[in-house]
């Protein structure tokens, strides 16, 4: 079922509140270190501006504590500056969200104008979905567009209660949300076979629902990352000093049983004596991690085998790094699978904050069919969940 989109709205001369997800990574100095999410919203923002609208942009950044002295690091000034560079037109940033400064700036907007409100999470009403706060925010504009795919799994005011303040014909999704939903829908309902899922990351517990939902749809589910060792332990193998979720062994056994031979575990491992990037390392074959060693990456034979399965797949979906990829000695496995995806003739989709960052950093982002801007939202889509933030946007 397709949702009303920004194409369906009357934009000319209107103030459009666009909920974007500009929750971007920042450097220690507060600079935007990855502007992918800002760039991904540009088609929607430019479309609205080209059709005579002005923009009131709403986003969160991080998880501010609510203590004003700690909030400085979560202000949206640097994000607004980056947006101004990318849009190539002036962007006004105000220091509140619904207060007098925001109201005055919104009232002063002329067609083509762009206003960025302060971090919406500075208001306690945001998390709570407070209707009074939502009405104040909605009062700044004539129409609402959700282009915050990365936040669609949240029920916060700006995602649900705010659109509910607008008449049905003034609520829509933007191009980013439309594209992300289309790709995920195709992936889950009519993937080009055979479909291979590649799941990494530290914890089995984060992926249980995803794995359960994907298993019936995939030919193979390839496992990497530290969750490998929870699976190996669940099978009764020694795991040395590797990271294991000791309280998730039953869940891991349940998944192993459910998956049968669809679930593929690494056949070799890069192990080290400690987490230190300079620790002694070696490759061990098989399913046993020696005493005193911990697994930090998939081994070369596994990387080659996974690479072959990826290259021959019709569809590949990837979430979660294969090892401790932030350290050079432990990133080969993650680089190899990213390379195989880039070379694959199949449909390749990458999601999850860390995985998308890895692909970007290795320079393969352009070679993927799609790199999602969603972390939690992407995973919850793979779990088969539906979102309240989208239920409030009418179907076409």
Q: Give me the active site residues, please.
A: 37, 203, 353, 376
User: Rounded CA gap, 303 and 267, in Å?
Assistant: 9
Closer residue to ligand 3PG in complex, CB, 125/295 = 125
Distance of closest approach, residue 288 Cβ to ligand 3PG, in angstroms: 37
**Residue 314's binding partner, choosing from ligand 3PG, Mg ion, none, with beta-carbon cut-off 5 to 8 A by kind?**
none
**201 makes contact with Mg ion (CB under 5 A):** no
Closer residue to Mg ion in complex, CB, 297/380 = 380
User: Rounded CA gap, 34 and 50, in Å?
Assistant: 26
**21 makes contact with ligand 3PG (CB under 6 A):** yes
Closer residue to ligand 3PG in complex, CB, 150/266 = 150
**151 makes contact with ligand 3PG (CB under 6 A):** yes
Closer residue to Mg ion in complex, CB, 165/356 = 356
- The CA angle 332-368-310, to the nearest 5 degrees, is 60
**63 makes contact with ligand 3PG (CB under 6 A):** yes
List the beta bridge partners of residue 239. 289
User: Rounded CA gap, 366 and 354, in Å?
Assistant: 17
Distance of closest approach, residue 58 Cβ to ligand 3PG, in angstroms: 13
Other Cβ atoms less than 10 A from the Cβ of 340: the count is: 24
User: Rounded CA gap, 346 and 313, in Å?
Assistant: 6
Distance of closest approach, residue 72 Cβ to ligand 3PG, in angstroms: 18
Closer residue to ligand 3PG in complex, CB, 320/375 = 375
**374 makes contact with Mg ion (CB under 5 A):** no
Integer CA distances (angstroms), 14 to 42, 112, 315, in order: 18, 10, 41
Angle between helices 249-259 and 227-234 in degrees, nearest 10: 80
- Locate 82 and state its tokens: 């980056």
| Cα dihedral sign, 116-120-123-125 | positive
Coil, helix or strand at residue 280? coil
**351 makes contact with Mg ion (CB under 5 A):** no
Query: Of residues 364-383, which lie at the interface with ligand 3PG (CB under 6 A)?
Result: 375-376
Neighbouring residues of 358: CB distance < 8 A, sequence distance ≥ 6: 321, 325, 334, 338
Distance of closest approach, residue 39 Cβ to ligand 3PG, in angstroms: 15
**375 makes contact with Mg ion (CB under 5 A):** yes
Instruction: Tell me the backbone φ, ψ of residue 221, rounded to 5 degrees.
Output: -120, 110
- Locate 274 and state its tokens: 């400690």
Of residues 85, 87, 61, the one with CA closest to residue 74: 61
Distance of closest approach, residue 314 Cβ to Mg ion, in angstroms: 30
**43 makes contact with ligand 3PG (CB under 6 A):** no
Closer residue to Mg ion in complex, CB, 65/274 = 65
Distance of closest approach, residue 154 Cβ to ligand 3PG, in angstroms: 5
Distance of closest approach, residue 160 Cβ to Mg ion, in angstroms: 17
**329 makes contact with Mg ion (CB under 5 A):** no
Closer residue to Mg ion in complex, CB, 307/375 = 375
- Locate 59 and state its tokens: 């986003």
**154 makes contact with ligand 3PG (CB under 6 A):** yes
Contact 314, 346 (CB under 8 A): yes
Peptide bond into 194 cis (omega under 30): yes
Estimate the share of the chain in helix, then strand, then coil, as percent rounded to the nearest 5. 45, 15, 40
Give the DSSP letter of residue 4. Answer: P
- Locate 43 and state its tokens: 């088609």
Other Cβ atoms less than 10 A from the Cβ of 359: the count is: 25
Closer residue to ligand 3PG in complex, CB, 60/332 = 60
**Residue 23's binding partner, choosing from Mg ion, ligand 3PG, none, with beta-carbon cut-off 5 to 8 A by kind?**
ligand 3PG
**376 makes contact with Mg ion (CB under 5 A):** yes
**146 makes contact with ligand 3PG (CB under 6 A):** no
Total residues contacting ligand 3PG (rule CB under 6 A)?
8
Candidate ranges 150-158, 202-210, 295-303, 323-331; the one touching ligand 3PG (CB under 6 A)? 150-158
Q: Out of 23, 44, 123, 287, which residue is the one contacting ligand 3PG (CB under 6 A)?
A: 23
**19 makes contact with ligand 3PG (CB under 6 A):** no
In the complex, the residues that contact ligand 3PG under the rule CB under 6 A are: 21, 23, 63, 150-151, 154, 375-376
Q: Tell me which residues touch Mg ion (CB under 5 A).
A: 375-376
């Amino acid at each position: 079922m397709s949702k009303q989109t920004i194409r369906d709205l009357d934009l000319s001369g209107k103030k459009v509140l666009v909920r974007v997800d500009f929750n971007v990574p920042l450097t220690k100095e507060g600079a935007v270190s990855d502007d992918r999410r800002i760039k991904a919203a540009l088609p929607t923002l430019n479309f609205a501006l080209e059709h005579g609208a002005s923009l009131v942009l709403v986003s969160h950044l991080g998880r501010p504590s609510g203590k004003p002295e700690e909030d400085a690091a979560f202000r949206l000034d640097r994000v607004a500056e980056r947006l101004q560079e990318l849009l190539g037109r002036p962007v006004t940033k105000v220091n509140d969200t619904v207060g007098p400064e925001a109201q005055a700036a919104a009232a002063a907007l002329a067609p083509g104008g762009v206003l960025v409100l302060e971090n919406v999470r500075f208001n306690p009403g945001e998390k709570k979905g407070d209707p009074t706060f939502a009405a104040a925010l909605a009062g700044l504009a004539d129409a609402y567009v959700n282009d915050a795919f990365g936040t669609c799994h949240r029920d916060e005011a700006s995602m649900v209660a705010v659109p509910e303040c607008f008449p049905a014909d003034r609520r829509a999704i933007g191009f980013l949300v439309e594209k992300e939903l289309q790709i995920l829908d195709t992936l889950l309902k009519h993937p080009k076979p055979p479909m291979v899922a590649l799941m990494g990351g530290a914890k089995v517990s984060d992926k249980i629902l995803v794995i359960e939902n994907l298993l019936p749809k995939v030919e193979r589910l390839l496992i990497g990352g530290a969750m490998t060792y929870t699976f190996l332990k669940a099978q009764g193998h020694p795991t040395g000093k590797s990271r294991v979720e000791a309280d998730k062994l039953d869940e891991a056994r349940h998944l192993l049983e459910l998956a049968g031979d669809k679930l593929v575990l690494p056949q070799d491992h890069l192990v080290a004596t400690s987490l230190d990037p300079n620790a002694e390392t070696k490759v061990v074959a098989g399913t046993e991690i020696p005493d005193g060693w911990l697994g930090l990456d998939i081994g070369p034979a596994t990387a080659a085998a996974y690479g072959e399965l990826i290259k021959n797949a019709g569809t590949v979906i990837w979430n979660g790094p294969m090892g401790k990829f932030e350290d050079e000695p432990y990133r080969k496995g993650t680089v190899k699978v990213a390379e195989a995806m880039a070379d694959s003739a199949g449909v390749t989709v990458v999601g999850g904050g860390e995985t998308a960052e890895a692909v970007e950093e290795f320079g393969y982002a352009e070679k993927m069919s799609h790199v999602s801007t969603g972390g939690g939202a992407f995973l919850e889509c793979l779990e088969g969940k539906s979102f309240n933030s989208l239920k409030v946007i009418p179907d076409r």
